[in-house]
Structure 1
Amino acid sequence: MDFSLLLIALVLGIIEGLTEFLPVSSTGHLIIVGDLLGYTDDTSKVFKIVIQLAAILAVCWDYRDKLVAVAAGLPAEPGARRFVGLLFVGFLPAAVLGLMFHSTIKGLLFNPITVASALVVGGLVILYVEKRAYHPRLNAVDEMRWTDALKVGFAQALAMIPGTSRSGATIMGGLIFGLSRKTAAEFSFFLAIPTMFAATAYDLYKNWALLRLEDLPVFAVGFIASFVAAMWAVKGFIRFISNHTFIAFAWYRIAFGLFVLATWQFGWVEWSEP
C-alpha cells in the first residue's frame, strides 16, 4: 500500500469534513488541494464521492433525534409531513437544474481557477449580505413556508458552480429571505441531506466502473477522517454563529481565492486550467 496515498486520503478527508457545511466550498477546496497534491486521476473522482457521503452521514448522526422524530411522525403528524415537504420543495431546484447541467458544469468549470474566482465572488457576496439591515422574521425551521423553502432551494442551485459553496449559498439566501442565522444554518444542514444523497448516488452511478477493491484502504481512511471532521465542524459552526457574523468566512474566501489566482497569474503553481 502506498502510504503517501493514505496521507493524501487523510488530508482530503479532513478538508471535506471541515468545509462541507461551512460557507467556504468543500468542492472548491478538494479541487484545489487535490490538484496541488496531484490526486486527479479517475480514482479520485470516486474517492471524493465516498468522503462526501461520510460528511452527509455525520450531519445525519448529529441531527438523528430530529430525523427519527420526523420519520416516526410521518404517518400521523402534520408537522412531520410539513417538514419533509419543505425539504422536498427546497431540493427541487437543484435536482432539476443539476440533471440538466451537471455534465456541462463538471466538464467546463471543475478547475482551480474557476474555483478561486468563485471563492472571491462569494466572499464579496457574503460581505454585502452582512452589511445589509438585518431583520429576521423566521426564528425556527418549523416557521418556514413552502415559498421560503423554494427561494432557499434556488439559492442552493447556485452552488453547482464549484467554489460557490452549497452551505454558503443556502445560508446567505436564507438570511436575505428573512431567516435567522441559526435557522438558515440548520435548514442548510437539513436540506443538505436529500441534496447530497441524491448527488452522491448520481455520481456513484456514473462512476461505478471505477470502483476497485484495492482502493478500499484509501477510501476507508478518507471516509473516517471526513465523518469525524464533519461532526466536529457542524457542532462548532452552530456555536460560532450564535455570537458571530459570517464576515470571517468571507475574508477567508477572498484571501484564499486571491492567493490561488496570484499563484496562477505569476506561474508559481502549474494549475489545471479551463
Structure 2
Amino acid sequence: MQLIEFFKAVIIGIIQGITEWLPVSSTGHMILANEFIHLNMTPAFRGMFFVVIQLGSILAVVVLYFHKLNPFSPRKSAVQKRETLSLWSKVIVASVPAAVVGIPLNDKIEELFGGYQVVTAALIVYGILFIVLENRNAKRAPRVRSLEELSYKTAFAIGMFQVLSLIPGTSRSGSTILGAMLIGLSRGVAAEFSFFLAIPAMFGASAIKLLKFGFSYTSTEIMILLTGTIVAFVVSVLAIKFLMSYIRRHDFKAFGWYRIILGVVVLSYFLIFAK
C-alpha cells in the first residue's frame, strides 16, 4: 500500500512541476488529478502536501537563476550587485498586494471560489485573454525588454495582477505573465519576473500551511512529502528551461488554446461523471 502512495506522490510531483511554471493553471490539473489519484492520508496532510511540494518548484528557480539572483556574487561588478538588489526590491514591492489580500483572505477565497465552475471559467477566460493579447501584441513592440528597465511602479502593477491568482484556476504564472505583457513587458522578461515573484509567494504559502499542519509527521508522511518535493524540483527545472526556450521562438497562444480545452474537459467531466 505504501508503495502505491509513493507512486501517487511522484505523479502529483510531475503535475506540480510542469503546471506551476507553464501558464496553464496547476489548480485545474490538480482537480482532475485528485479525482483519480487519492493519497491515502489524512485530509489535513493532503491539503498541506499539495501546497508544500511547491517548495521543490521554487528551489528549481533558485538553482537555475542563482547567479542572477545573488547580489553577493564575486563574479558581479558593483553595478551588477546594485542592479540585483534593485531586482529583489522590485520583487518585494510586487509581492505586497498578494500578501495583503492573500494572508487574511486566502482560506475564504478558496471556500467561495474553489468549485469546479469557477476553475473552468478561469481556465477558459484566461485562455481567451492570452490569444487576444498575443494577437494585439503582434503589432506592438514591448516597452520593457530587460529586468533593468522594469520600474517599481510597473513591478507593483504586476503584483496587483498576482492578486488575481488567488482565484483558483487563474494560475499564478498565468496572471503575472498576462498582466506583465498587458502593460508592456516582453515575453521573456514577463516570464522571468513571474518566476522570481513566485519565490516569496510560494515560500510564504508553504510556510503558512506547515505552521497550520504542525511538524508532527510519521516516517511515511515525511518520505511521501520529500518524494513529491524532489520530483517537483526536477520536473520544474525541465519545465522552466522548456518555457524559456519555447517563448524565444513562439508566443503564448498555444497555452491559451490548451487552457480552453482543459477548461472544457474539466467542466465536461464534472457535468457527466461527477456525482
TM-score when normalising by structure 2: 0.91
Q: Find the counterpart in structure 2 of residue 9 from structure 1.
A: 9
- Could you tell me which runs of 5 or more consecutive residues in structure 2 were left unpaired when the two chains were aligned: none
Bigger shift: 40-49 or 5-14? 40-49
Q: 1:209-228 to 2 correspondence within 5 Å?
A: 211-228=217-234
* Structure 1 segments of 4+ aligned residues over 4 angstroms from their partners: 70-73
> CA deviation digits over 1:85-140, x for unaligned, max 9?
11111111111010231110122323434322221121112112112143201111
Q: Shift of the alpha carbon at 1:80?
A: 2.8
Taking structure 1 as reference, are residues 200 and 70 closer, same or farther at Cα in structure 2, changes over 3 Å only? farther
SS in 2 for 1:132: helix
Aligned pair partner of 2:165 in 145, 159, 177: 159
Match of residue 181, structure 2, among 175, 179, 183: 175
Determine if the alignment matches structure 1 residue 188 to structure 2 residue 194: yes
Bigger Cα displacement from structure 2, 76-85 vs 166-175:
76-85
Work out which of the residue numbers 245, 267, 271 in structure 1 matches 2:251. 245
User: In the aligned structure 2, how far is the partner of 1:57 from the partner of 1:227?
Assistant: 6
Counterpart check, 1:147 vs 2:149: no
1:256 deviates by 1.0
- Length-normalised TM-score, structure 1: 0.91
Q: What residue ranges of structure 1 are gaps of 5+ in the alignment? A: none
Asked whether the 8 Å contact 1:42–1:210 carries over to 2, the reply is: no
Q: Is the 8 A contact 2:16 2:54 kept in 1?
A: yes
- Residues 46 and 210 in structure 1, CA contact (< 8 A), matched pair in contact too: no
SS at match of 2:53: helix
Partner of 2:261: 255
2 CA distance for matches of 1:130 and 1:204? 39
Aligned pairs for 1:20-169 within 5 A: 20-39=20-39, 41-69=43-71, 77-133=81-137, 134-169=140-175
Separation (CA, whole Å) in 2 of partners of 1:131 and 1:70: 41
Q: How many Å apart are 1:32 and its aligned residue?
A: 2.7
Q: Give the 3-state SS of the residue equivalent to 1:42 in structure 2.
A: helix
Q: State percent identity of aligned pairs.
A: 38
Amino acid at match of 2:48: V
Quick check: 1:16–1:226 contact (8 Å CA) kept in 2?
yes
In the TM superposition, what is the alpha-carbon distance from 1:71 to its structure 2 partner? Answer: 7.0
- Structure 1: distance between partners of 2:47 and 2:255: 27
Aligned length: 269
Greater shift, 131-140 or 85-94, is seen at: 131-140
Tell me how far 1:217 sits from its aligned partner: 2.1
Cα distance in structure 1, aligned partners of 2:73 and 2:115: 39
Provide Cα deviations, 1:10-61, integer angstroms capped at 9, x if missing partner: 1100000011111011233223312332348222112112311110011110
Task: Indicate if the aligned counterparts of 1:43 and 1:211 stay in contact, CA closer than 8 A.
Answer: no
CA distance in 2, matches of 1:193, 1:97: 17
Cα gap change, 1:61/1:192 in structure 2, threshold over 3 Å: closer, same or farther?
same
- Residue 184 of structure 2 aligns to a residue in which SS? coil
Deviation at 1:81, TM superposition (A): 2.7
1:145-185 alpha-carbon deviations (Å, 9 max, x no partner): 00110110001110001110111111111111110110101
Cα distance between partner residues in 2 of 1:167 and 1:78: 26
